[in-house]
């Protein structure tokens, strides 16, 4: 008989392959038999409540459903068991993701319990056609959770059947008239005007709108999680978080301070494809395929006949899903412009904005009254109030560009500093969000940034690294660190993270000072709308994001080595040899992404008839049977794709040459076509 091992040696017990083994999981804190599991994944806690209602009205935890319940529980434990992982220990993050996907799959069947007769048949009568339909469902929506749970459809169906009295409608309209506005746009509305009146009245009177103390993007915003818990919460195992769900018929009175001025240019070439990404669907299909492992280990779920449908799922997924999207590269003019604006704004106003905010915080008075006179430099910027009182989007963005509100200008500053650091360091969003004052290392050799790599990890352990930090980026981060530290020293609640922005003090009660969790998207949006960053041919604005900025420095470096004259690079290249910089670029940017950046610059040079790319342009025309005139009128994405093909095949090359100049090491980029390839073409 095998003896129990100490908890710290649990990983060894995973290899004792027995049926009972699938009742253990390192992330579960209480017993297998419990109706509610308390789970802990690193610092994240969650409960799994198995007391859900089946098609006959019985609970999954009822004695009559014991077989199905135990199968579900063992299947969850299997997801981090060596029989499923191949003997590798899963990190807390990976374990949480696998359990979440598994709960979604189980919920798919629970929500359709009537069709599958789960209470009587369990999953034994699910057919291959049913599995094929499940895969098709997974692939049908950009957000796979939406395909499984159909939250919007269920909310609309539910609200069509709610009832309120005429007196309720009258009283709600009297006290909250905004709830009955915005009926002018009826196109695509899911309900009649009267149904909307009833639905909004019911939502308000039953507490399904966020209270006034909650700052949201609508004055009346539906609490999605609570409403869905009411509608289907008793039928599913997973938490129902759908914060990104749009409910245009029920969210009322948008708050301008949360809006962008224009539609955004998609950041990925897959963004406009409404199908699910192939890699995401594959993750769910992998959960289904693990049911084969489950059956081999005595866990009865889907039959082998039903799972046979997965053998054809690869072809189905290729047809039904979109390929993994590639992040777009910002046009050179946009990349150069935003970095220039960011540096100029930081140098011109950064210190003054932070010092003025800290001076206000020291008074402890209501920040909305600006109890200290605005300094002359900030008056020149336009500041005359703490925050906007605009009632329309048009007025809000007029005020934003006037610089009339301190809160908005602080948001622009945070956006500027984020653009500087993100561009010069080429780091992931997850790496930047958790930077603290201790992340800035000042040494005799210069500044360094200390952080945990976003992806390079083994189990629970992430690589902690040091990377050179340009002086301008270090000084900017130190300025933010000063704000968060001094706000905390004054006794206000303050996040430890460098990019934690000042509290908006939107409500009518103290505290009026403090910092809140980083919100990169808001900082970027404010910056781009303030400087009116360029738009594409459809009028969509290039709102920058962290993954776009990671490519910016590489593009500017390559462009500078082709054209020269990129003034903003002196903040980085002035202190580091170009050859060292290029090594940093190649170590930071994945090869495929770097090829795309090189191809983008080459495309721009060819369109400008630059001498550096004459051979490449001629070879491209020869290869694809087009003229130089054709090359100039082809869509830019096609030219970039053609150049990428040549770079990937090795027929062409875009690489730097380094040489000694009067001011030290210099460089230029050379665009080569290999001679043997030229002859073959």
Which tens digits make up the pLDDT trace of 39-95? 999 989 999 999 999 999 999 999 999 999 999 999 999 999 988 888 778 888 889
What is the percent of the chain with per-residue pLDDT over 70, rounded to a whole number?
84
Report yes or no: 652 and 646 within 8 Å, Cβ to Cβ.
yes
Q: Is residue 364 part of a domain?
A: yes
Q: State how far the Cα of 165 lies from the Cα of 339, in Å rounded to an integer.
A: 58
Exposure of 147 in the CB half-sphere (CA atoms within 13 A): 20
pLDDT at residue number 555: 74
3-state secondary structure of 127: coil
Model confidence at 323: pLDDT above 50: no
pLDDT at residue number 282: 85
Distances 504 to 102, 367, 386, 410 between C-alpha atoms, Å: 39, 9, 9, 10
pLDDT at residue number 9: 52
pLDDT at residue number 270: 43
Mean pLDDT of 159-176: 94
Q: Assess whether 310 and 358 both reside in one domain.
A: no
Instruction: Indicate the pLDDT class of residue 275, thresholds 50, 70 and 90.
Output: very low
Q: For residue range 372-396, what is the model confidence (pLDDT) as tens digits? A: 999 999 999 999 999 888 878 888 9
Mean pLDDT of 345-360: 97
Q: Is residue 77 part of a domain?
A: yes
pLDDT at residue number 328: 65
pLDDT at residue number 663: 74
Mean pLDDT of 423-445: 85
Mean pLDDT of 490-501: 91
Q: Assess whether 251 and 280 both reside in one domain.
A: no
Q: State how far the Cα of 293 lies from the Cα of 25, in Å rounded to an integer.
A: 17
Q: Is residue 584 part of a domain?
A: no
Among 248, 161, 152, 251, residue whose Cα is nearest residue 198: 161
pLDDT at residue number 408: 95
pLDDT at residue number 182: 60
pLDDT at residue number 204: 94
Final residue in a domain of this structure, among 504, 530, 556: 530
- Expressed as residue numbers, the domain containing 611 is 590-680
Q: Assess whether 308 and 215 both reside in one domain.
A: no
What is the percent of the chain with per-residue pLDDT over 90, rounded to a whole number?
43
Which residue in this structure is represented by tokens 């997965």? 310
Final residue in a domain of this structure, among 296, 320, 344: 320
What values do phi and psi take at 9, rounded to 5? -105, 25
- The four Cα atoms 488, 492, 493, 498 give a dihedral, to 10 degrees, of -40
Instruction: Indicate the pLDDT class of residue 184, thresholds 50, 70 and 90.
Output: very low
Q: Is residue 71 part of a domain?
A: yes
Q: Assess whether 101 and 197 both reside in one domain.
A: no
pLDDT at residue number 549: 82
Furthest C-alpha separation in the chain:
86
pLDDT at residue number 569: 59
Q: How many domains does the chain have?
A: 4
Q: Is residue 581 part of a domain?
A: no
pLDDT at residue number 634: 83
Exposed/middle/buried for 193, CB within 10 Å: 0-12, 13-18, 19+? exposed
Instruction: Indicate the pLDDT class of residue 1, thresholds 50, 70 and 90.
Output: very low
pLDDT at residue number 16: 46
Torsional sign, CA 74, 79, 85, 89: negative
Q: Assess whether 361 and 506 both reside in one domain.
A: yes
pLDDT at residue number 531: 97
Q: For residue range 202-246, what is the model confidence (pLDDT) as tens digits? A: 999 999 998 755 556 677 889 999 999 999 999 999 988 887 788
Q: Which H or E run contains 108?
A: helix 92-111
Q: Is residue 540 part of a domain?
A: no
Mean pLDDT of 235-261: 81
pLDDT at residue number 17: 43
In this structure, what DSSP letter does residue 268 have?
Answer: B
In this structure, what DSSP letter does residue 200 have?
Answer: H
pLDDT at residue number 438: 92
Q: State how far the Cα of 220 lies from the Cα of 311, in Å rounded to an integer.
A: 48
Mean pLDDT of 573-584: 69
Q: Is residue 577 part of a domain?
A: no
Q: State how far the Cα of 40 lies from the Cα of 26, in Å rounded to an integer.
A: 9
Q: Assess whether 339 and 482 both reside in one domain.
A: yes
Most confident range (mean pLDDT) of 159-173, 503-517, 542-556 is 159-173
pLDDT at residue number 505: 67
pLDDT at residue number 467: 77
Report yes or no: 111 and 56 within 8 Å, Cβ to Cβ.
no
Which residue in this structure is represented by tokens 């955004």? 264
Model confidence at 337: pLDDT above 70: yes
Mean pLDDT of 246-259: 75
Instruction: Indicate the pLDDT class of residue 19, thresholds 50, 70 and 90.
Output: very low
- 2 or 674, greater pLDDT: 674
- 559 or 204, greater pLDDT: 204
Q: Assess whether 475 and 387 both reside in one domain.
A: yes
Q: State how far the Cα of 41 lies from the Cα of 57, in Å rounded to an integer.
A: 32
pLDDT at residue number 596: 85
Final residue in a domain of this structure, among 530, 561, 579: 530
Q: Assess whether 11 and 91 both reside in one domain.
A: yes
Q: Assess whether 166 and 247 both reside in one domain.
A: yes
Q: Is residue 268 part of a domain?
A: no
Q: Assess whether 508 and 419 both reside in one domain.
A: yes
3-state secondary structure of 608: coil
Report yes or no: 330 and 550 within 8 Å, Cβ to Cβ.
no
pLDDT at residue number 276: 52
Q: Which H or E run contains 475?
A: helix 471-489
Model confidence at 553: pLDDT above 60: yes
Q: Assess whether 286 and 407 both reside in one domain.
A: no
Mean pLDDT of the chain: 84
Mean pLDDT of 110-133: 92
Q: Assess whether 292 and 377 both reside in one domain.
A: no
Report yes or no: 140 and 275 within 8 Å, Cβ to Cβ.
yes
pLDDT at residue number 41: 94
């Amino acid at each position: 008989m095998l003896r129990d091992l100490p908890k710290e040696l649990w990983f060894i017990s995973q290899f004792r392959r027995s049926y009972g083994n699938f009742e253990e999981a390192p992330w579960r804190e209480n017993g297998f038999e419990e109706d509610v599991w308390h789970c802990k994944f690193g610092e994240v806690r969650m409960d799994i409540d198995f007391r859900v209602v089946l098609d006959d009205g019985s609970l999954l935890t009822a004695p009559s459903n014991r077989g199905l319940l135990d199968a579900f529980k063992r299947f969850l434990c299997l997801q981090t068991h060596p029989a499923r992982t191949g003997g590798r220990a899963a990190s807390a993050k990976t374990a949480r993701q696998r359990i979440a996907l598994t709960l979604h799959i189980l919920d798919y069947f629970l929500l359709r319990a009537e069709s599958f007769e789960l209470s009587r048949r369990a999953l034994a009568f699910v057919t291959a056609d049913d599995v094929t339909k499940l895969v098709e469902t997974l692939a049908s929506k950009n957000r796979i959770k939406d395909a499984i749970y159909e939250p919007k459809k269920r909310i609309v169906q539910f609200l069509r059947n709610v009832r309120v009295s005429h007196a309720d409608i009258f009283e709600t309209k009297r006290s909250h008239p905004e709830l009955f506005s915005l009926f002018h746009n009826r196109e695509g509305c899911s309900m009649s005007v009267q149904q909307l009146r009833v639905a909004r009245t019911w939502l308000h009177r039953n507490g399904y709108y966020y209270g006034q103390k909650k700052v949201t993007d609508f004055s009346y915003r539906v609490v999605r999680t609570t409403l869905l818990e009411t509608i289907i919460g008793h039928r599913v195992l997973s938490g129902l978080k759908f914060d990104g769900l749009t409910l245009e018929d029920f969210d009322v009175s948008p708050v301008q301070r949360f809006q962008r001025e224009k539609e955004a240019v998609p950041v990925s070439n897959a963004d406009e494809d409404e199908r699910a990404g192939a890699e995401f669907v594959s993750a769910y299909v992998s959960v289904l395929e693990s049911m084969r492992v489950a059956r081999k280990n005595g866990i009865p779920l889907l039959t082998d006949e039903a799972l046979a449908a997965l053998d054809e799922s690869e072809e189905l997924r290729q047809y039904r899903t979109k390929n993994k999207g590639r992040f777009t590269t910002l046009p050179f003019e946009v990349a150069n412009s935003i970095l220039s604006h960011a540096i100029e704004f930081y140098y011109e106003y950064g210190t003054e904005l932070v010092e003025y905010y800290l001076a206000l915080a020291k008074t402890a008075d209501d920040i909305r009254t600006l109890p200290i006179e605005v300094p002359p430099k900030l008056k020149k910027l336009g500041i005359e109030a703490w925050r906007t009182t605009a009632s329309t989007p048009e007025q809000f963005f007029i005020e934003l560009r006037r610089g009339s509100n301190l809160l908005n200008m602080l948001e622009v500053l945070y956006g500027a500093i984020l653009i500087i650091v993100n561009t010069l360091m080429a780091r992931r969003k997850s790496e930047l969000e958790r930077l603290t004052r201790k992340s800035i290392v000042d040494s005799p050799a210069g500044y360094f940034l200390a952080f945990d790599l976003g992806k390079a990890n083994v189990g629970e352990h992430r690589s902690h690294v040091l990377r050179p930090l340009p002086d301008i980026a270090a000084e900017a981060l130190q300025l933010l660190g000063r704000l968060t530290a001094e706000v905390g020293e004054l006794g206000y609640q303050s996040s430890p993270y460098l990019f934690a922005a000042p509290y908006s003090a939107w409500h009518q009660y103290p505290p009026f000072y403090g910092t809140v969790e980083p919100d990169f998207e808001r900082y970027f949006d404010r910056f781009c709308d303030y400087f009116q960053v360029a738009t594409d041919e459809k009028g969509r604005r290039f709102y920058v994001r962290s993954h776009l900025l990671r490519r910016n420095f590489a593009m500017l470096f390559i462009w500078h080595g082709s054209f020269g004259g990129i003034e903003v690079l002196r903040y980085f290249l002035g202190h580091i040899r170009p050859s060292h910089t290029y090594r940093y670029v190649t170590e930071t940017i994945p090869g495929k992404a770097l090829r795309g950046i090189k191809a983008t610059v080459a495309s721009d040079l060819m369109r400008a008839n630059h001498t550096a790319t004459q051979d490449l342009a001629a070879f491209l025309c020869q290869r694809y049977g087009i003229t130089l005139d054709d090359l100039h009128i082809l869509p830019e994405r096609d030219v970039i794709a053609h150049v990428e093909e040549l770079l990937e095949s090795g027929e062409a090359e875009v690489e730097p040459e380094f040489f000694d100049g009067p001011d030290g090491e210099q460089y230029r980029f050379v665009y080569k076509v290999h001679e043997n390839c030229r002859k073959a073409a």
